[in-house]
Amino acid sequence: MKKFAVVLSGCGVYDGAEIHEAVLTMLAIVKNGGSYQIFAPDIAQHHVINHFTGKEVNENRNVLVESARIARGKIQTLSAFDANLYDALIFPGGFGCAKNLSTFAFKGENCEVNKDVVEAVKTMVSANKPIGALCIAPVLFAKILKNIEVSIGNDEQTAIKIEKMGARHFKTKHNQVIKDAKLKVFTTPCYMLDATIAQIAEGAENIVKAMIDAI
């Protein structure tokens, strides 16, 4: 049974992890014979968005605590991640990747990435183990790793910023997975495209299968 580490960035597309992508990634892992452990950094959330109105509200929340909602409480802090215990590492999308796990939403190609995210990604790559990212999450890899091949779909402005960070971007359609064979990096666009939940499920399934094949 292949063991995945799933890294979340909160709970909710506008200020945390994209819930459909997170849940369907976990489902894809189990459907394909794997198991998973959920992680999140124990840090303050950048801000809180009312998902009904789309407006910012005056609240303070914690990324680990919010991610625990999706994990049903079964979650570990990302600082405790040990690459030796897992076969693969995957990041569902959501604005939390660009606001909490990094500052990409605010600084673009000049962003910084959370130190625990950097450590987890680099240790997995050093161990020659596959890493994956859905939706906007590939920007994390573009910043951390050099000369990698990724995709966030077909958003031109985001693709330009990714390439300014030294990565190579490929346009993709629904359910497509881009594989950087050298570094075992896998990316798929999901909600970076105008997708249905069925298409999200297919994208999650495809990236998980590709990663399992690379283990």
The Cα-based distances of 57 to 44, 49, 98 in angstroms read 15, 6, 19
User: 11, 97, 111, 135: which one is catalytic?
Assistant: 135
Give residue 91's identity as a one-letter amino acid code. F
As averages over each run of 10 residues, the pLDDT of the chain (215 residues) reads: 98 98 98 98 98 97 98 98 98 98 98 98 98 98 97 97 97 97 97 98 98 97
135 is catalytic: yes
Q: Which residues pair with 187 in a beta bridge?
A: 133, 178
Query: Which architecture does CATH list for 3-214?
Result: 3-Layer(aba) Sandwich (3.40)
pLDDT for residue 13: 98
Q: Which helix (H) or strand (E) holds 199?
A: helix 197-214
Helix residue ranges, H only, 91-196: 96-99, 104-107, 115-126, 138-144, 156-164
